Structure 1
Amino acid sequence: MDYYRRAEERGAANHGWLKSHHTFSFAHYYDPAHMGFSELRVINDDWVAPGRGFDSHSHKNMEIITYVLEGTIEHRDSMGHVSLLKAGQIQRMSAGTGIVHSEYNASSDLPLRFLQMWIRPAQEGGEPGYETLTVGSSDGLNTLVTPNGADSTLSINQNVILYRLKLAPGQSQKLKRGAGTGYIHGVSGMAEVDGFSIADGDGAGFTESEQEVNVVAGATGFEALWFSLP
């Protein structure tokens, strides 16, 4: 393990309607020791109050992945798209040459929580676009995003594979890095990951020294995201 960060060490922002935790430097939070891992640039854990959200803002040359954990996002953009992204769904947005969009909590009385992850593209430019996938409920390792969108996964403009890991209490799983690096982000529950504890919001990165990472779920089970990175 070459990078390890506990949830409570992350950057934080509280705007009343928005509470956010930043694994890596983002917006007004800056720490030169935490600028990303490989091509993974941002992991934000956002809580949005009912009826509130992010007004129209622009993105360019970034692959943006949004995973809704609670509630529903209402998404609108400059391409004319209006859609709802619900709990248990994941979206890949390629900003490409540029796009303007807004994200709101679609409910007037229920909170919204989602993870948003930014990945630098392999090639800049290109047409902006979206894809959405419903995350399965089965235990084990499920592939969500791949470079070529194989086997009904979401495609991404980078040599990255994103998996969702879900383990029952005491269940174990070996994670393979591939040719590059790997990063795990805890979503819920707790697990021992190569001897380190990973819980909700914790993260760890692995480089060439470890080809395989062993994960053992704790007493309440474990959910995480596993990034195979360049």
Structure 2
Amino acid sequence: MITSRAANECGKADYGWLQARYSFSFGHYFDPKLLGYASLRVLNQEVLAPGASFQPRTYPNVDVLNIILQGEAQYRDSEGNHTVAQTGEALLLATQPGVSYSEHNLSKTASLTRMQLWLDACPQRENRLVQRISTLPAPYLLLASPEGSSASLQLRQQVWIHHLTLAKGERYTIQLHGPRAYLQSIHGSLQVQTPASAAQRLVCGDGAFIGEENHLELVASTPTRALVIDLPV
């Protein structure tokens, strides 16, 4: 089963210093039917104005994955740690109880565009506080996984995140670990199909809930960048 969700159906915010699109309930945007999906709590795309910052905040027990689409961001915590990520990188923060985190657009002239995911973390798991990986163009990259397989980021949850960068006409098949997944188009348009469902078209910013399928076939209608978030638990 594939249930698509158009980008224009998502929650939106425009504060001047911040423009955002929310796939699930977040901040002022609330939909009781969209409180996340399995262990995926948050999926936001946000644009920070030059020099803008998110002030320090604490998180629930989650891993926070930031995928930098354009710009350069600095992340600081209340323990004195800081790190920088830029275009073509993804940064994973294993948030800790009682620790606050802030985010800063380091450029005074250019916007920062990034995607942010929150994933429930198993409290018994301890991972490195900060991990990073390059997302430089490749048809397929295992971005994150429970065991850090294939040099991916290691999550504190049974989740696999696949990153795809496909040329027009290129296709790729993803094997899933369980009954649920979420597909997010970052840019471009693509067709997604499964053995049990007819093909559906997604364009830039669209998402899709995947249920009771064991694999997906993606076909790029234009140059496409997308995430497949495999959520068996």
The bucket for the TM-score relative to the shorter chain is: over 0.9
Distance 1:99 1:60, change over 3 A: farther
Aligned-pair identity in percent equals 30
Is residue 2:228 matched to residue 1:226? yes
TM, length-normalised to structure 2: 0.92
Deviation at 1:91, TM superposition (A): 0.9
The aligned runs of 1:180-191 (5 Å cut-off) are 180-191=179-190
Distance 1:90 1:145, change over 3 A: same
Supply the distance in 1 between the matched residues of 2:61 and 2:79 (Cα, whole angstroms).
16
Q: Partner residue of 2:67?
A: 67
How many residue pairs were aligned?
A: 227
1:101 aligns with 2:101: yes
Counterpart of 1:150 in structure 2 is 149
Query: Residue 216 of structure 2 aligns with which residue?
Result: 213
1:127–1:168 distance in 2 versus 1, CA, 3 Å: closer
Q: What secondary structure does 1:59 align onto? A: coil
> Aligned-pair RMSD on alpha carbons?
1.6
Q: Quote how far apart the aligned CAs of 1:125 are.
A: 7.7
Whole-angstrom CA distance in 2 between matches of 1:144 and 1:125: 19
In structure 1, what residue type is equivalent to 2:132? Answer: T
Amino acid at match of 2:192: V
Query: How far apart in 1 are the matches of 2:130 and 2:185?
Result: 25
The change in CA–CA distance for 1:54 and 1:45 in structure 2 (over 3 A counts) is same
Deviating 4+ runs (over 4 angstroms): 124-128
1:196 aligns with 2:195: no
User: Deviations along 1:124-149, whole A, 9 cap, x unmatched?
Assistant: 6857711111113222x210111111
Task: Compute the displacement of 1:36 (Å).
Answer: 1.3
In the superposition, the TM-score normalised over structure 1's length comes to 0.93
- Uncovered stretches (5+) of structure 1, i.e. residues with no partner: none
Shift of 1:180: 3.5
- 2:53 corresponds to: 53
Q: 1:172 to 1:106 in 2, by over 3 A?
A: same
